[in-house]
């Protein structure tokens, strides 16, 4: 059994993440799509609408510095902090990501990120869940890396597509939609939004071809701005049991997805809008206007949608800290506002009542105790204390301006000797920390 402290220290060690793209991958995916569509036509069925053109990532977008496994888990924790977890709501950001603390390792001389023996021994009934969740984790993390290089000097916020779309549409009957939406923003400037489709599997590299064919359907379900011009990103993570973890990546090009400059409007409460569940193809030549099932953010609604994205991002951050009432203020009724009202109780949810000083920054958030290798660990999720005050008071615009000015544009993870644990910090000012629980640290609510 590996020593717990070595396991935790390994979570902050720089590791090489393998990302693959290229024309060969594009050709293989196009061939898979063609075969799938031909089979459907032979059965008398209409092939689904897909992104019409997929292409490889440029080299500068597909290569980035070594990453710490804890940074990947932190990105995943932030992306699922609004997921519905029933009575365990609020625990998801901890256990949902930290259950994979033992699954990621870098045992090769090249320090390649791969599944550990524990990760490879996952029983069959849990492999699908592992593939789904780690596919989302690596997809969200890689999307951020790609977009930070594409939009230099901008911030990238990954929000759950379901929650954002519920502000304008019901999802009943909507079979296809992306996993995430990525908002690219900079205070006071116009922004962009890109749908993100990400999947994972334990098979061979060729399994990714079918996943991309499916992901192109999900990506096509959301159009932002003009018809058929919304860019997007697609990821399929190969969780090999014999080699390194490989993130296969493609992109859908387009000049759509534009968002206007946003200021104080992001501070204004949201209301549900009754938008039609259709994507409108404009009349062209002899072709009449046509409506397809899906989600279309028209240009006239782009200001409203930027408000939606900013407030869902703020809700995810307050949920990450365990602040239920603050989270409720940023969501609409359809987005699940009622799930964050009522009594807060530590036995069934997170409660924001803990302060920690991590890597010199005073943070406020929530903590839970788990076991790794039969040993108790304390996990803390929170945000810089002064930024939390802005979020608690609805000042999303000011929070964003200060987070952009104060925090590095790239995530990082380090061992905090004073706290005696692994700490991850993200550009949004959030922290995820984990350490062995000792008697002297038990129930620490205001640790200096």
Please answer whether residues 160 and 198 qualify as being in contact, where contact means their C-beta atoms are separated by less than 8 angstroms: no
Please answer whether residues 179 and 197 qualify as being in contact, where contact means their C-beta atoms are separated by less than 8 angstroms: yes
Taking the C-alpha atoms of residue 88 and residue 44, their distance in angstroms, rounded to an integer, is 45
Taking the C-alpha atoms of residue 301 and residue 304, their distance in angstroms, rounded to an integer, is 5
Give the pLDDT score at 238: 96
CB atoms within 10 A of CB 4: 19
Taking the C-alpha atoms of residue 232 and residue 90, their distance in angstroms, rounded to an integer, is 30
Q: Which residue in 48, 49, 268, 307 sits closest to 168, CA to CA?
A: 307
Dihedral of CA atoms 357, 134, 72, 198 in degrees, nearest 10, equals: -130
Q: C-alpha 379: how far from its chain's center? A: 20
- Indicate whether 121 pLDDT > 50: yes
Decide: pTM greater than 0.85: yes
DSSP helix/strand/coil, 10: helix
**Phi and psi of 284, rounded to 5°?**
-145, 115
Please answer whether residues 166 and 312 qualify as being in contact, where contact means their C-beta atoms are separated by less than 8 angstroms: no
Taking the C-alpha atoms of residue 75 and residue 225, their distance in angstroms, rounded to an integer, is 28
- Percentage of the chain lying above the pLDDT 90 cut: 68
- Indicate whether 237 pLDDT > 90: yes
Please answer whether residues 198 and 235 qualify as being in contact, where contact means their C-beta atoms are separated by less than 8 angstroms: yes
Q: Which residue in 263, 289, 305 sits closest to 164, CA to CA?
A: 305
Residues in the chain: 448
Taking the C-alpha atoms of residue 116 and residue 12, their distance in angstroms, rounded to an integer, is 15
Give the pLDDT score at 3: 83
Give the pLDDT score at 88: 40
Most confident region among 22-36, 62-76, 361-375, 433-447 by mean pLDDT: 22-36
Per-residue pLDDT tens over the stretch 401-429 = 999 999 989 999 999 999 999 999 999 99
DSSP helix/strand/coil, 89: coil
Taking the C-alpha atoms of residue 80 and residue 338, their distance in angstroms, rounded to an integer, is 18
Please answer whether residues 423 and 416 qualify as being in contact, where contact means their C-beta atoms are separated by less than 8 angstroms: yes
- Indicate whether 442 pLDDT > 50: no
Please answer whether residues 435 and 414 qualify as being in contact, where contact means their C-beta atoms are separated by less than 8 angstroms: no
Confidence of residue 265 (pLDDT cuts 50, 70, 90): confident
Give the pLDDT score at 6: 87
Bridge partners of 226, per DSSP, are none
Per-residue pLDDT tens over the stretch 37-80 = 999 999 999 999 999 899 999 999 988 778 999 999 999 999 88
Please answer whether residues 267 and 235 qualify as being in contact, where contact means their C-beta atoms are separated by less than 8 angstroms: no
Give the pLDDT score at 34: 97
Confidence of residue 325 (pLDDT cuts 50, 70, 90): confident
- Indicate whether 87 pLDDT > 80: no
Please answer whether residues 82 and 163 qualify as being in contact, where contact means their C-beta atoms are separated by less than 8 angstroms: yes
Taking the C-alpha atoms of residue 188 and residue 111, their distance in angstroms, rounded to an integer, is 40
Distances (CA, A) of 414 to 17, 64, 67, 417: 18, 18, 11, 9
Give the pLDDT score at 84: 62
Taking the C-alpha atoms of residue 135 and residue 133, their distance in angstroms, rounded to an integer, is 5
Bridge partners of 159, per DSSP, are 181
Distances (CA, A) of 362 to 10, 57, 135, 384, 447: 25, 39, 32, 6, 10
Distances (CA, A) of 306 to 182, 312, 314, 393: 11, 10, 12, 20
């Amino acid at each position: 059994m590996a020593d717990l402290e070595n396991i935790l220290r390994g979570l902050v060690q720089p590791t090489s993440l393998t990302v693959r793209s290229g024309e060969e991958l594009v050709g293989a995916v196009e061939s898979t799509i063609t075969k799938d569509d031909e089979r459907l036509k032979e059965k008398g069925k209409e092939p689904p609408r897909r992104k019409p053109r997929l292409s490889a990532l440029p080299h500068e977008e597909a290569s980035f510095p070594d990453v710490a496994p804890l940074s990947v888990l932190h990105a995943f924790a932030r992306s699922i902090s609004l997921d519905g977890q029933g009575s365990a709501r609020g625990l998801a950001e901890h256990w949902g990501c930290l259950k994979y603390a033992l699954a990621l390792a870098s045992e090769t001389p090249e320090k390649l990120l791969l599944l550990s023996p524990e990760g490879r021994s996952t029983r069959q009934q849990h492999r699908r869940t592992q593939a789904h969740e780690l596919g989302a984790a690596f997809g969200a993390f890689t999307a951020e890396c790609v977009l930070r290089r594409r939009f230099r000097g901008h911030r990238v916020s990954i929000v759950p597509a379901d929650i954002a779309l519920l502000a304008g549409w019901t999802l009943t009957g909507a079979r296809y939609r992306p996993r995430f939406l990525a908002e690219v923003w900079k205070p006071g400037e116009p922004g962009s939004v890109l749908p993100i489709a990400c999947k994972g599997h334990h098979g061979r590299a060729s399994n990714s071809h079918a996943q991309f064919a499916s992901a192109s359907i999900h990506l096509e379900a959301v159009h932002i701005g003009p018809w058929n011009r919304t860019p997007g990103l697609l990821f399929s993570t190969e969780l090999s049991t014999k080699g390194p973890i490989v993130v296969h990546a493609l992109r859908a090009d387009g000049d759509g997805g534009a968002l206007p400059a946003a200021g104080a409007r992001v501070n204004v409460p949201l209301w549900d809008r009754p938008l039609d569940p259709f994507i409108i193809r404009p009349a062209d030549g002899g072709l009449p206007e046509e409506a397809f099932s899906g989600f279309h953010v028209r240009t006239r609604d782009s200001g409203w949608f930027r408000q939606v994205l900013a407030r869902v991002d703020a809700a995810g951050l307050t949920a990450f800290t365990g602040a239920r009432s603050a989270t409720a203020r940023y969501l609409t009724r359809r987005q699940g506002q009622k799930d964050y009202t009522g009594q807060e109780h530590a036995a069934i949810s997170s409660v924001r009542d803990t302060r920690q000083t991590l890597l010199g920054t005073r943070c406020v958030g929530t903590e839970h105790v788990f076991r790794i290798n039969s040993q108790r660990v304390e996990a803390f999720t929170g945000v810089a204390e002064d930024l939390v005050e802005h979020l608690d008071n609805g000042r999303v615009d000011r929070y964003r301006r200060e987070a952009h000015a104060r925090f590095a544009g790239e995530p990082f993870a380090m061992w905090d000797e004073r706290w005696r644990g692994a700490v991850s910090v993200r550009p949004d000012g959030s922290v995820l920390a984990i350490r062995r629980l000792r008697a002297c640290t038990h129930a620490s609510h205001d640790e200096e």
